[in-house]
Amino acid sequence: MDITKTRAARIAFSAVTLVVALGLVPMALAAKGGKNGPNSESGYTGTFNGPPVMAVDQNSDGHPNAGDSVTFNVSSSAPYPFVQLSCSQNGSQVVQETLGFFGSWSRTFYLGGMVWTSGAADCTATLYSVSFSGATEPTEATLNFHVDG
């Protein structure tokens, strides 16, 4: 057998081996699973460190009221943590806003808007993250709180 045929056979064998290996990698990762499911890239954890922090307190009472602005102290192991704020009055959603808690993003939520002009509301802040591939990861923490009218 000449050298050219031997080289060609080695290249062909290497190519076939590579294709087979690349085909098996996704199956192996899917089988691994884990607490965040087979497509998760992480096991990110996070918490809310205390109640909402008043950013603007219109009546200076130290409690969230309609028309105030709040932020949150969060800790997360994720590179891209987000907080979604959702508020409802009498079962109807009046606010839903999501802000990134990384980089130079604004981290202040206004407790009101075109739909919510006054009155009390019940709110839930949800801490979650987005993986490097752009997939939304499972919820890391939630915080429920009441906003006075």
User: In angstroms, rounded to a whole number, what is the distance separating the alpha carbons of residues 127 and 50?
Assistant: 13
Average pLDDT over the chain, rounded to an integer: 78
Predicted structure pTM score: 0.69
User: In Å, how far from its chain's centre is CA 26?
Assistant: 24
Query: Each residue of 67-126: pLDDT tens digit?
Result: 999 999 999 998 889 999 999 999 999 999 999 999 888 899 999 999 999 999 999 999
User: In angstroms, rounded to a whole number, what is the distance separating the alpha carbons of residues 128 and 107?
Assistant: 14
Domain boundaries 46-147, CATH class: mainly beta
pLDDT above 90 covers a percentage of the chain that reads: 56
Contact in structure between 137 and 130 (CB atoms under 8 Å): yes
Which residue shows structure tokens 């993986």? 131
* 146 pLDDT above the threshold of 60: yes
Which is nearest to 148 in space by CA: 107, 112, 102? 112
